Amino acid sequence: MLINGVQTDRISVLDRGVQYGDGLFETIAIIDGHICLWERHLQRLCDGCERLGIVAPAPEKLFAEATAVINNHPKGVLKIIVTRGVGGRGYRPPIDVQPNRVLYYSPWPDYPEDAWLKGISMRICATRLGINPALAQLKHLNRLEQVLARSEWTDPVIFEGLMFDSNEHAIEGTMSNLFLIKDAVLITPDLSRCGVAGIMRGLIIELAATLNISVVIKDVGLDDLKAADALFISNSLIGIVPVSAFSGQPYSLDSIPSALLNAVDDHMSGRY
Ligand SMILES: Cc1ncc(COP(=O)(O)O)c(C=O)c1O
């Protein structure tokens, strides 16, 4: 683990990331020794820093540190955390604060092998996402909503829980974004009020456009989910995973375009 380029796993309890969740993070796939979608992760991190008024780390330094922590592991996960740093009594951010950056490698998660082929089961979470456009789309460090939602079930058969906002709109999974397919149109929830603008979601939207698949970003309700031809979830590690059962209702995997699945695979194969 590297913190500000130094090998250590210690950070001050006065760090504003610890105190207030005042920071951002990225979770990045390492496949075939390659840092997948690096430019996109870097861009989201920098955009997030700008929105929060945190000085973003220098890209070259970050890349060098990422390469060092990956340490030639062919497959795994790189996590980058950037906090506003130590300082200030109370919430007011100090002017001359020095951001902290944490990078570490962890092994590839133990996903069920047949998730991609057979699809996964998804439930509805009771925990709601708060509506807050000021934080919407950011991958910020305040993840209590997801922690509460993920504590709602222990059944290992359920892979993901779907979270709604307080207006009954389906937003995303606890650790993934949501897509629906209806009459060959790809639909994904509008994230202007809450949710994380996933890197994989962004890539899927772009790839769909190049494949002439219509994409609609809109508010999605339970009725839309029930009427969908197919559902899938996405994140930077899993890519696209089809949903074969949602809240007890079975879904076919057939209408997920194979061209889209292949295009995402290509982007995760270490070639991009
Ligand atoms: C709450 C939430 N939404 C969406 C995503 C998907 O984001 P990405 O595609 O950047 O991995 C994640 C990923 O961890 C997440 O935790």
Q: Is the CB of 200 within 6 Å of ligand 1? A: yes
pLDDT at residue 269, rounded to an integer = 79
Give the pair of three-digit tokens for residue 17: 């990331």
Q: Is the CB of 196 within 6 Å of ligand 1? A: yes
Which residues are part of the catalytic machinery? 27, 139, 172
How close is the Cα of 189 to the center of ligand 1, in Å? 14
What residue type is assigned to position 26 of the chain?
Answer: E
Summarize pLDDT for 125-184 with one digit per residue, the tens. Answer: 999 999 999 999 999 999 999 999 999 999 999 999 999 999 999 999 999 999 999 999
Closest CA to 74 of 24, 35, 113: 35
How close is the Cα of 198 to the center of ligand 1, in Å? 5
Residues near 11 by beta carbon (within 8 Å), at least 6 away in sequence:
3, 17, 18, 83, 100, 102
- Regarding whether 125 and 96 lie in a shared domain, the answer is no
pLDDT < 50 positions in the chain: none
- Regarding whether 124 and 93 lie in a shared domain, the answer is no
Strands 239-246 and 100-106: unpaired
How close is the Cα of 196 to the center of ligand 1, in Å? 6
pLDDT at residue 188, rounded to an integer = 98
Domain range for residue 162? 115-268
Q: Is the CB of 244 within 6 Å of ligand 1? A: no
- Regarding whether 174 and 133 lie in a shared domain, the answer is yes
Kindly give the number of the ligand 1 atom that is closest to the alpha carbon of 44.
10
**DSSP calls for 12-52:** -TTBHHHHH--EEEEEEEEETTEETTHHHHHHHHHHHHHHH
Q: In the listed set 52, 71, 106, which residue is the last one of a domain according to the structure?
A: 106
Measured in degrees and rounded to the nearest 5, phi and psi for residue 150 equal: -70, -20
Q: Is the CB of 204 within 6 Å of ligand 1? A: no
- Regarding whether 101 and 123 lie in a shared domain, the answer is no
Place of tokens 């929060």: 52
- Regarding whether 198 and 228 lie in a shared domain, the answer is yes
- Regarding whether 263 and 169 lie in a shared domain, the answer is yes
Identify the residue whose C-alpha is closest to ligand 1 atom 4: 176
- Regarding whether 67 and 24 lie in a shared domain, the answer is yes
Q: Is the CB of 177 within 6 Å of ligand 1? A: yes
CATH number (domain holding residue 189): 3.20.10.10
The pTM (predicted TM-score) of the whole model is 0.96
- Regarding whether 122 and 220 lie in a shared domain, the answer is yes
Terminal-residue alpha carbon distance, the chain: 25
- Regarding whether 250 and 127 lie in a shared domain, the answer is yes
Cα–Cα distance between 240 and 204 in angstroms, integer? 9
- Regarding whether 258 and 134 lie in a shared domain, the answer is yes
Identify the residue whose C-alpha is closest to ligand 1 atom 14: 175
CB 56 within 8 A of CB 49: yes
Q: In the listed set 106, 131, 152, which residue is the last one of a domain according to the structure?
A: 106
Domain count, the chain: 2
pLDDT at residue 254, rounded to an integer = 94
- Regarding whether 120 and 44 lie in a shared domain, the answer is no
Summarize pLDDT for 209-227 with one digit per residue, the tens. Answer: 999 999 999 999 999 999 9
Q: In the listed set 106, 130, 158, which residue is the last one of a domain according to the structure?
A: 106
pLDDT at residue 89, rounded to an integer = 80
What residue type is assigned to position 115 of the chain?
Answer: A
pLDDT at residue 271, rounded to an integer = 57
CATH number (domain holding residue 75): 3.30.470.10
